[in-house]
Structures are given as C-alpha cells and as structure tokens.
Structure 1
Amino acid sequence: MEAPSFIPQVIRNCEDVNKELQKFSLASKIHQDYLWFDVLNFQTLIKTNEKDGYQPLSGNALAQFEKDDFYIKDNFSLLQTYDIRIYPKTKDYKLKLELTPQADKLYLVFDEHFIIINDDQFFEEIFSVIDSLMAQNKVIFRQQYEQRENLKAALKNFQAQGAQPQKLLLKTAPDFIPHTPSEFRFLLKNAWEKDKGTKAPKNSLFGTSPDVSIAEYIKPIKGKNGRNLKGLYIKIDIKDIDQMPPLSYNKNFIQREETSEKIVFKSLINGYVKIENDTIIFNTDYEFTSMKTTNAPMLLGGVESGITLVIKSEDEFSDAVGSNMILEASKIQIIGSVGENVTLSAQEISIQGQTHQSTTIKAQEAKVTTHKGRFLGEHFSVRNLDTGFIQASDCSIEVASGATIYAKKIAIKTLKSNNKLHFSQECELQEIQGGENRFVISSGADIKTKQVMEFIHKKIALLKSKMHTIAQEYQLFVTKAKKNKPIIDKIKSADKTTQIAMLAENDIKRTYDQFIAHIKKLKVLKRELIGFQNNIKDLNASLLEIENETLGARILAKSEWRFENEVIYHQDYPKPNDEILILADGENIDIRIDPLKRKMIKTH
C-alpha cells in the first residue's frame, strides 16, 4: 500500500475516532484508506445524574470499573474518549472485528492467510490493531489485560497445532442478554436456496429421507437487562413473548423433537415436502407421465433422499420432461425426450431419448441415447453425442460429432468431425471417420484439477501482493533504523559512564528507544516475509505436481487418421506453453508424452 508521507498527528480526547479520521482526511486531502492510528491512551468517564456532566474515573474508582459487579449496575451512564496518533497506513493486517447487532458479543475475524509469529513484538502489534478497531467501533476498553492474555494463549495454541484461526470470541457482555424473537425455518428450502444462490420456484417440493430435519422453530429469548459492550445499559421491554403457531402434520411421517432452545420436525420417511397453510405436506408419488410446469411441481433437493423418479412420455410426440422443469432425486429414469431449459440432478440418470441443446444434466453417472445439452459429473455414457458438452472424469461415446469434452479419460467408438476433446490422461479412438478435430492434452481438462490450480494461482497472487506490502514496510523501517544508526554507534562505542550520561538526554534516549523498536519490528517483518516465501514455495511445488499428471497422457488410435486433425499439449507450469502437432490424412499412429522431454511423440 503506497501511503502518502506526512507528519503523524496526535489528537486528544476523541469521542468519535471515525469523525476525527474523516476530518483529518478532508483537511490533508489524503484518502481515508491511507490513514491509520494508534490508541495512545483512553479515559473513562461516567455520570450518575442526567443533569450532571461526565466525570473521569481514576484510582480506586477505575479499579472498581474493571469488575463485572460494578459494570452491570444501571445507575450511571458511560463514555470513553481516546488520545490517538494518526499516521500513514503502510500495512493491512486483514483483521476485522464483528460486533453482534445489540453489542453483546465481539468476535475477531482473521484473513485466511494470517500468519502467527510467536514473538512479543508481533503480539503487541496485533493488540494495538485490535485496540484501534475497538475504538472505531466504540467498544468499551475494560479488562484489556485478560483479553490480551486470552488471545495470546489462543493464537499460540493455533500455531502449536498448525491450525488457521478464522473467528474467535473476544468479549462477551457480562450480564446483558438481548431479546431474540422466535423464528420458523423451512430448513430444506433454506438449504437449497443457499446452495443454488437463488430463490426456489413457488411450486416446489423438497426431497427428504428418514432422520433428516425438515423444519425448526427457534424459541424466543426473553432477554435480560444489562450493559452491552458499548457501555449502554439496555432495558428489555417485551410484554408478550410470541409463541409458535400451530403446525399440522402426519405423525406417521414426522417426528417432533423439543429442547429448551427449539422444536425440530424430522422426517420418518422418504418423500418430497412442502409447507403450506401451516401444514407439512408430503408427496410420495414418484412415477409421472409427461411432466410439465402446468401439471407437476418442481422436485428439488432430493439427490441424497434415496428416491427414484420414473418419467415416461405419454406419446411419441410429447417430451417426457417438458420445458423449464427442475428435477432432483437420487435416481432419475426417463423414457422419452427432455425439453428445453430443463435441469436434472441426481446420483444416477438414464434417458432413453434425446436431450435439448439447453438441457443440463448433473450426476455422478448418466446414460443417454442422444445428448445435445450439457453434462456435468463423473461418469457419462452416450450413444450419440451431437454437438453436446461433457465435463466429466471419464466418458464413453459411441458416435461423437461437433462435441466439446473435458475429462481425464475419453473413449469414442466412432469419431466424426469438428470435436474439441480436452483430456489429461487418455483418449481412445476405435474408428476415425472425420477431420477438423482438436485434441488438447492439459492437466486442467479435469474440472476438479482446474479448480485446484486456479485456487492455488489466486493464493500465490494474494501472497505475493502481501509480500510486496510487507517488503515496503520492511524497507521503511530499514531507512528509519539507518537514519538513527550513527547515534546508536556513538552510544555503543562510549564507555559505561558516558552511555548513562548520553541516555539521560531526552532526545538521545528517544532516538535510542526508536532504534530498538525499529529493530524489533524488522525482526517480525522478516519472519513474516520468510513465512510467505515458504508458503509460495510449497504452492509452486503443488502446481508442478499437478502439471506432471499429464506426463503419462496418450491418444490411442485404432484406425488411420482421416483428413487433418490437431493435437495440442498445453502446459501451465512452470510457464505457459503450447506444443502443436498436425496429424495428416492416412497416418496410423498414436500420440504420447515423453516424460523426460515433456514433449509429444508419435508411436506406432
């Protein structure tokens, strides 16, 4: 972060830190993103009468304020002010505070690449950042020593276990419990919508199976008067606690379980469920004829339900599954064709018919007569692949024409023209009848591998960005340390008596203390840089290991090549590279990768 240079400014007795930062930003014409601050000191003030002004606490009164018995009293109002030092922001620690809506709990949230260094200087930096964030959020400074010691112990524990902290509870209001109203949740629907990132269609049922929670009623919490983490005394004024409305259901299908916190409704059977007019309604009919949006509901979230759907077309002129349907089950068997914009999801799917170009199939395993749409899954078998798209671990195809395939392994009986075949391990061709086909050997042909590679690349880019920021900060402190080094050398070369006399002078003592602080800071920054470098080294090794998966790749052609076809060996690591090979009409050869030269070779 390239922060503009300016002389740090101390502002005393701030009631609102964010306003002071905004004022400084406007006055200095420096964007607030480039500003940071330390809390140098804070003052605690209370008033016991609305007519009186706030009075600072000190001595024994301040010691009493640290105790919960004093803090929870309702006979005073509370305010804290801060002395802050604003300076250029050179580093983003990627730490956030998360305060609950009524300020009864405070959490510390960590960036995924946060590195723990078991060093007192490192911990002091983290504590300082948290103090600043607390001041920004107007969280009361109290019991800070305990807070810091608990956090230090937690971070050391994470480091010892080699674990990455994500979110830690930092503070809890000692006595205050906020009121929480009741809530009814249709869990099956909520889970589906969260997974898909969209609202479920209105005419939807959701798949379930025995012992799966369908819905739950979260009981209300009346709450308790008390002082929250911002120092405000909250009085709960709830006269009538809401109660759960009556819910109708078949006791042969539903089991009701109650705890002090909630009531859970669990399924006793397999089926599709909806909740309508305060009633849980089951559907256990799994055989359909010509399903359409006008005569059937959407059947969602049933992939783990153990349910098998059987769907037939009513005649040869009708689709078995009409346009815009969404069907999800453990198994789906379709006798007939599938209309446009249909999405099918299951562990196993069989279609004795044709899919539309806009059909999407998601499954562990699928068998289709004629496929023109999209398949996303593990294992795919198709008789006629006509301009369709496949993304799988392996696929078996009788006839392929104008198709696009991404897989580890591809097996094709009859290869026609204009296919784009991406694979990482093997492509077997029984008979080649067409040309203008493109074969791409790439570790990224397998979607799971590609996603891992993309994740690693993003992680490396982020780590390099953080390293750049830390390196800038490191250089800044090197410059500061060099500036003070002549004075430090004089102190070190002097005898003991002269050293004591020199350090008695305020300016020299200040310079000496700054130098020591800078050296400690450089030590922490260096350890951070080494940590990031080691992480990047490990990630690069992982990329090379993934890239090496293609070294055994091959194309097995059991007939002569027809017309002209293109083979590309694509490598992403250690640097992007494409090797291109053109196969001429009549050649009778296989293609494999030479693992030593990392090049394609023709074999007979």
Structure 2
Amino acid sequence: MGFFDKVFGSDREEKEEKKPSGGGSFTPIVVTTDNVAQLLHDTALKYKISSHALDIRLLSFKTLIKMDPKEEEWIELEEGEWQKFNKPEILLNPDFLIKQNYELEIFKYKEEPWNSDLLLHMGSNKEKNRVVCTIKAGSIIRKADNLKSKIRNLIRMKMLRSRILIDLWDVDYDSALDDLTAKAMVQEQYILPEDLSFDVCVCFASQKPVNDELILHYKNKDEEPEESDRVDYSKRGFIQAVEKGETVIEYIKPQPGKPGRNCQGAHISVPEPLEKFKPEFRVSDAIEIDEDETRILYRAKRGGYVVFKDNTYDIQDSMELNEVSFKKTGSIDAGVETEVKLHINESDFMKDAIGTGVEVEATEVKVEGNVGASAVVTAEEVVIGGQTHQSSKIFAKQAVINVHRGFVKTSEDLQITRLEGGVAEAKKAKISQMIGGEVKAIEVDVDVMASNAKIYAVSKIVINKMLGENNRLVIDPTEIDSYHNEIISLEEKIAKIEKELARLEESREQKEALKEKSTAAVNTLKKRILEAKQRGVRPQPAFVAKIKQFQKLESDLLDLKAEIKAAERSLKETRMKLLAYQDMMVNAKIINYGEWSDYTHIEFHLLCPQIKLEYTPKPGDKMQEVYLKKVTGPDDEVSYEIAVKEAVKE
C-alpha cells in the first residue's frame, strides 16, 4: 500500500481462518466494550475458536471525552455535540482524551455470496492519522440487495476491529463505491481490473520539529559530485571562492513541530527542536546578513574567496602562493567571475610554478615561472613569466606569455615574447619571436619570424623581419573559431536552399508543360459546358471534374512560384551574409617589412565562390604588401587575383 502499513488483513486471509476450527457451536452474545479487537480475542479464547471465525454487528456506541486527564468522570457526548470539540485547538491539546464504547452482538461468521471473493484491505500510515481502504484487483463484486450499504458496513466493522474511532473523522467515500456497485448491479458481477484505493478516515498529522543547522554553502559546492560521479583527487578545495550575491553561509533556526492526533483518538506528541549550531562567529563588511523568522543568510557583497580567521568570516580577492601543485594545493577552481586574483611566485626556471596536471581557474592569474605538463589555466587575464609546457592549455580573455610551447586561446588580445612550436588563437595576436608553431587570429603581428611557422588570419598579417624559411601565411576566415561555425552554417544553408530551388524549378517546369498541353482541351470543355447550360442541359460530371483539375493545377503553379520567390529571397539574404565575411578578407593584406625567405607560401581563401588563390614570394624581395585585386570581366563579372605592392610603414 505504498507508505501505508497493513493494519488489517484482507477478506481472503480472514476467510481462511473463519472456516470451522473444531470448536462447538457458538451462541450469539451482546457485550459492551471500548476495545473490539481485545474483546474478540478474549471471546475466541473463552470458546476455543479463532477470532476470525467471529463476526460482529454494531448495535450502538457512545463517544466519551475528558478535557483533563485528572477528571474522574468521562463526559458522554450527545448527538450533534461532537463538532464543538472537533477543532485543532482542542484535539491538539495533549490533555484532551477521547474514546468510544460499543454495544456489539458477537455471532458466528457465515459467508455470504456477495463478499465471498471480495479482497478488501484496511491500512494506515505509521501515525495512523490516515486510514485507507483498498479493494484489490481481481476482486469479484457480485450483485446483491443494498450492496453499497453492505460494503460500507464491512469497512465500518473493520475499522472497529482495528480500533479506529467511527463517525468522528470519517471521509465521504460514496463516490468511490457508486461506480463500483453500479457496474456490479448492471453486470450481475464485476471483476475489478486494478486496485481501488480511497480514504475512509483522516485526522491531524503531526509535524516534525526543525532542528537548527549551519550550512557552509561555500564549502559544500566544492563537495558536489561531478556528473560522471568520479572523484577528482586534484581538486581539494584549497580555496573556496564565491561570487557577488552568492550565499556563503546559511543558518536554519530551530522551529517547533506540531502535535497531531490519530484516527484511534491518541494524541501524537512531538519533541522540542534541538539547538546546537547557533552562530557565534562574526562577519566582516564584505558579507551582508539577511535574517527572517526561519533562517539567517550570509551573502557575499563582493566576489572573492572565503577566509575564516579569529572567529570572523571575510571575503578577500587576492592570494599569493609559492606554487600550485598536486601535492601542496591541488587544483584551484575559484571561478572566472569571482574576482579572485592569484599570484604564483615560483620563478625558478628549473621548477614548475603550476605543476603537472593541475587546473587553475580565477579572474586573474599571474605566474612568475613555468606552467607544467597537462596543466590548465583559465582566467580573464593571464600573465606567465616563464614558459608553458607543450601539453599545457591556457584560456583567457587577455594573456601575456613569455615563452609558449603549449596551447593558448584568448577572446581578445594575446602577447607572446617567444612562440616555440606552440599553438595560439586570439582576436589579435602580437608575437615578438616566432620559432615554428601556429597562430590563428583576426590580426597577427610578428616581429621576428624563424622557420616552419603557420599563420591564419582574417584581415591582416604583419611580419617585421623574416629570418627563416618554409613559412605559410593564410587569409581564411573559416580557420578562426569565432567565424568558423557561422560560415559553415551559412554555406550549408546555401547548399540546402539551392537544392530546394532546383526541386521547385523542376516541379514548376513539369506543371507549366502540363498546363500548356491541357489549355486547348480545357477551353473546348468550357465551351461545351457553356453550350449545355444555354440549352438547359446539365453538363457532364466528367467535364466539370476536368475543369476543376485544371483550376487546381493553376493554383498549384501560383503557390510554386511564390515558394520559388521566397527561396530566391532567402538565398540572396544568406549569400549577402556570407559575402560580408568575404568583404573582410577582400580587404585583407599580408605585409613583410623585411625580406622574403625561401619557400614562403601565401594563400587567400575566398568564400563565394570557394576559391583558393596562391602566391609564392620571390626570395630576397623586400618591403612588400600582398593583397587581393578586384578584376572586372567583359560581362561585368567580378573576380579577384593576388597583387603585390611596396609596403609602407604605418
């Protein structure tokens, strides 16, 4: 029965025990009791039969109350008086007592056809403040006189057997029985396809007290499991960062519970709430307090990390560390939006300031020394005074790196003193020395370029001095992350629209041909229909049907032409968006203020149409600017070719 405990057996279980048990005959008796279950038990023992072989009939009952346990006499309630006492302020008072006395006839159980296959349970929750009747699936409800009343009486007798007080907190369950009995009366018998449950008695449930609790939210959020449920032992919560407005600590005040009373009339008491964690700490001006009747919230007035010192909680935004490593600190996940600034002081070029496999995330990260293998740094601003390992990764809004061998990506500016085979992506990249490696940015400026370098840009590449060979310089927006997805999406959309246009045009041509072929015959049919109407003769249905088919063809053609126009308009708009990206690169330029070296390769990747233009500068040529020159053909067709002119220092 779900959360309900079984209080009384089903009819089937009782009927198994109600079979003759070897005892002699039993003469009905009339008795008065306030405990029906005990009475049946005692009677069964006396006559040496099973209590389940006995049945009861309620003759009358009394409801008795005491307003105070010290009172000697019980007060019998007259009919209609109960509503004066059926109030929470009385029933939830532990001094109020209530019981019922029943006058019963006890007789030998005799099975009747109407309930021989009725499987009926009574159950309640743990407190017994809610009693539920369940008629089990498979029960057979047979037609009988006063069937509804008989089922109600059966429920009522089961309530008495389980010491449930009657006519005090009963629930109206007529509607639950109406449909059931109606089907049985119509069909002679009705087999219940699924369990039918309904409340028969509901009193006052108790409400548990709320014990006080101190919740350190700033610590708990670091302990929440990841989606993979795998423990990352590198993340040990070295600092607990919070954002502005975030709840740092929460104190839940103790709150009293609420007593109840169950359907047996017993008062349900509740304990007093426990108070063990009342705040005795202080907070700094960086934390605001918001208090109401049930709780106290301590919220961060600024971003930073939480510090507890001298019994005072504070939020600070700057921290200096000698190193960040798996052994000493673990990973530091302060969050980019928390305003936490980390300064890592280790500057020995033989050591790692940020160790192997460690992740560091904060608003600002300044590292005096090196970033180790597989380390990851994420921040708004990053400064690295040493070198980055080739397997390290840096993600930032802006970054300044001394020697870079790993991967770095910034959404704004990037400055690298020496790029040694690493990968750099940015909006604008400034590289002092480039020794191999790869750079992708809208604009790239390199002071000194050695060999085997690759640069991808959108608007400009500037080389101040080229010393090495085998370098590749490419203007291609699709290589830049911020443009790539949008360009690919536009190209896919253009291909899809062009395919749809081809299908629509083919369908239009077919319908146009059919219309042209059918026009003469349709005109003849129209003439015959008109002549028939003039003679007062009803036109042939086949002629009318053909005319309607032709009209449908004309309507479909109009719809097709409208669809074609809409598709052409969409294609034009999409191509314009793609051309906007091409306009950026059409004005792009690659400038070498120094001298070209051997095996330098230059590419311009046009988007609309998709064409790659290539150029190999002549070694030894100096001060050159390579750009795209617009060429207009004899039919006013526009194309582009690579051109070269003298570079002028800006």
Q: Aligned to 1:346, which of 351, 359, 379?
A: 379
Asked if the contact 2:336–2:379 (Cα under 8 Å) also holds between the matched residues in 1, the reply is yes
Q: Aligned to 2:344, which of 311, 316, 322?
A: 311
Cα gap change, 1:557 to 1:488, in 2 (>3 Å)? same
Q: Aligned to 2:455, which of 421, 429, 438?
A: 421
- Do residues 321 (structure 1) and 373 (structure 2) align? no
Cα gap change, 1:367 to 1:314, in 2 (>3 Å)? closer
Q: What residue in structure 2 maps to residue 549 of structure 1?
A: 584
Asked if the contact 1:353–1:370 (Cα under 8 Å) also holds between the matched residues in 2, the reply is yes
Cα gap change, 1:419 to 1:501, in 2 (>3 Å)? farther
Asked if the contact 2:349–2:386 (Cα under 8 Å) also holds between the matched residues in 1, the reply is no
- Do residues 441 (structure 1) and 468 (structure 2) align? no
Q: What residue in structure 1 maps to residue 88 of structure 2?
A: none
Q: Aligned to 1:359, which of 392, 415, 424?
A: 392
Alignment of 1:188-337 (within 5 A): 201=232, 203=235, 208-211=242-245, 253=287, 267-271=300-304, 286-300=319-333, 302-313=335-346, 316-337=349-370
Q: What residue in structure 2 maps to residue 379 of structure 1?
A: 413
Superposed displacement of residue 321, structure 1: 1.1
Superposed displacement of residue 387, structure 1: 0.3
Asked if the contact 1:345–1:363 (Cα under 8 Å) also holds between the matched residues in 2, the reply is yes
Alignment of 1:23-38 (within 5 A): none
Superposed displacement of residue 400, structure 1: 0.6
CA offsets per residue over residues 566-601 of structure 1, 9 Å max, x none? 2223323223222222331x2223122143233223
Cα gap change, 1:367 to 1:265, in 2 (>3 Å)? same
Superposed displacement of residue 287, structure 1: 3.0
Asked if the contact 1:340–1:359 (Cα under 8 Å) also holds between the matched residues in 2, the reply is yes
Superposed displacement of residue 270, structure 1: 1.4
- For structure 1, the residue ranges without an aligned partner over 5 or more in a row are 1-49, 52-72, 77-185, 217-245, 274-279
Cα gap change, 1:576 to 1:563, in 2 (>3 Å)? closer
CA offsets per residue over residues 147-183 of structure 1, 9 Å max, x none? xxxxxxxxxxxxxxxxxxxxxxxxxxxxxxxxxxxxx
Superposed displacement of residue 472, structure 1: 6.5
Q: How many Å separate the matches in 1 of 2:599 and 2:613? A: 19
Q: What residue in structure 2 maps to residue 27 of structure 1?
A: none
Q: How many Å separate the matches in 2 of 1:580 and 1:198? A: 54
Q: How many Å separate the matches in 1 of 2:291 and 2:559? A: 53
- Do residues 602 (structure 1) and 644 (structure 2) align? yes
Asked if the contact 1:290–1:312 (Cα under 8 Å) also holds between the matched residues in 2, the reply is yes
Q: What residue in structure 2 maps to residue 124 of structure 1?
A: none
CA offsets per residue over residues 103-122 of structure 1, 9 Å max, x none? xxxxxxxxxxxxxxxxxxxx
Q: Aligned to 1:411, which of 430, 438, 445?
A: 445
Cα gap change, 1:395 to 1:389, in 2 (>3 Å)? same
Asked if the contact 1:411–1:428 (Cα under 8 Å) also holds between the matched residues in 2, the reply is yes
Q: What residue in structure 2 maps to residue 432 of structure 1?
A: 466
Q: How many Å separate the matches in 2 of 1:460 and 1:248? A: 66
Superposed displacement of residue 386, structure 1: 0.2
How big is the alpha-carbon RMSD for the aligned residues of Structure 1 and Structure 2? Answer: 5.1
Asked if the contact 1:189–1:200 (Cα under 8 Å) also holds between the matched residues in 2, the reply is no
Alignment of 1:453-472 (within 5 A): 453-468=487-502
Q: How many Å separate the matches in 1 of 2:357 and 2:642? A: 45
**1:450 partner amino acid:** H
Q: Aligned to 2:432, which of 398, 410, 413?
A: 398
Q: Secondary structure at the match of 2:489?
A: helix
Q: What residue in structure 1 maps to residue 3 of structure 2?
A: none
Superposed displacement of residue 266, structure 1: 6.2
Q: What residue in structure 2 maps to residue 524 of structure 1?
A: 559
- Residue identity over aligned pairs, in percent, reads 19
CA offsets per residue over residues 7-65 of structure 1, 9 Å max, x none? xxxxxxxxxxxxxxxxxxxxxxxxxxxxxxxxxxxxxxxxxxx99xxxxxxxxxxxxxx
- Do residues 569 (structure 1) and 569 (structure 2) align? no
Superposed displacement of residue 550, structure 1: 2.3
Q: How many Å separate the matches in 1 of 2:396 and 2:602? A: 29
Q: How many Å separate the matches in 1 of 2:599 and 2:335? A: 46
Q: How many Å separate the matches in 1 of 2:434 and 2:363? A: 28
Q: How many Å separate the matches in 1 of 2:496 and 2:334? A: 36
Superposed displacement of residue 285, structure 1: 7.0
Superposed displacement of residue 548, structure 1: 2.3
Superposed displacement of residue 442, structure 1: 2.9
Superposed displacement of residue 371, structure 1: 0.2
TM-score (norm 1): 0.53
Q: How many Å separate the matches in 2 of 1:300 and 1:593? A: 46
- Do residues 590 (structure 1) and 624 (structure 2) align? yes
Q: Aligned to 1:540, which of 541, 557, 575?
A: 575
CA offsets per residue over residues 185-216 of structure 1, 9 Å max, x none? x99999xx9xx999995737685421358999
Matched residues, number: 391
Asked if the contact 1:502–1:508 (Cα under 8 Å) also holds between the matched residues in 2, the reply is no
Q: Secondary structure at the match of 2:440?
A: strand
Asked if the contact 1:544–1:574 (Cα under 8 Å) also holds between the matched residues in 2, the reply is no
Please say which of residues 409-418 and 463-472 is displaced more in the overlay. Answer: 463-472
Asked if the contact 2:347–2:370 (Cα under 8 Å) also holds between the matched residues in 1, the reply is no
- For structure 2, the residue ranges without an aligned partner over 5 or more in a row are 1-139, 142-174, 180-216, 251-275, 307-312, 632-639
Superposed displacement of residue 381, structure 1: 0.7
**2:440 partner amino acid:** Y
Alignment of 1:147-226 (within 5 A): 201=232, 203=235, 208-211=242-245
Q: What residue in structure 1 maps to residue 636 of structure 2?
A: none
Q: What residue in structure 2 maps to residue 228 of structure 1?
A: none
Please say which of residues 291-300 and 199-208 is displaced more in the overlay. Answer: 199-208
Q: Secondary structure at the match of 1:286?
A: strand
Superposed displacement of residue 353, structure 1: 0.7
Superposed displacement of residue 389, structure 1: 0.9
Superposed displacement of residue 539, structure 1: 1.4
Q: Which has the larger radius of gyration?
A: 2
Q: Secondary structure at the match of 1:211?
A: coil
Q: How many Å separate the matches in 1 of 2:378 and 2:298? A: 26
**1:556 partner amino acid:** I
Cα gap change, 1:319 to 1:574, in 2 (>3 Å)? same
**1:569 partner amino acid:** F
Q: How many Å separate the matches in 1 of 2:511 and 2:229? A: 49
Superposed displacement of residue 531, structure 1: 1.3
Asked if the contact 1:552–1:592 (Cα under 8 Å) also holds between the matched residues in 2, the reply is no
Q: Secondary structure at the match of 1:313?
A: coil
**1:581 partner amino acid:** T
Asked if the contact 1:392–1:408 (Cα under 8 Å) also holds between the matched residues in 2, the reply is yes
Cα gap change, 1:187 to 1:533, in 2 (>3 Å)? farther
TM-score (norm 2): 0.50
Superposed displacement of residue 358, structure 1: 1.4
Q: Secondary structure at the match of 1:531?
A: helix
Cα gap change, 1:300 to 1:284, in 2 (>3 Å)? same
Superposed displacement of residue 401, structure 1: 0.7
Superposed displacement of residue 333, structure 1: 0.7
Superposed displacement of residue 289, structure 1: 2.8
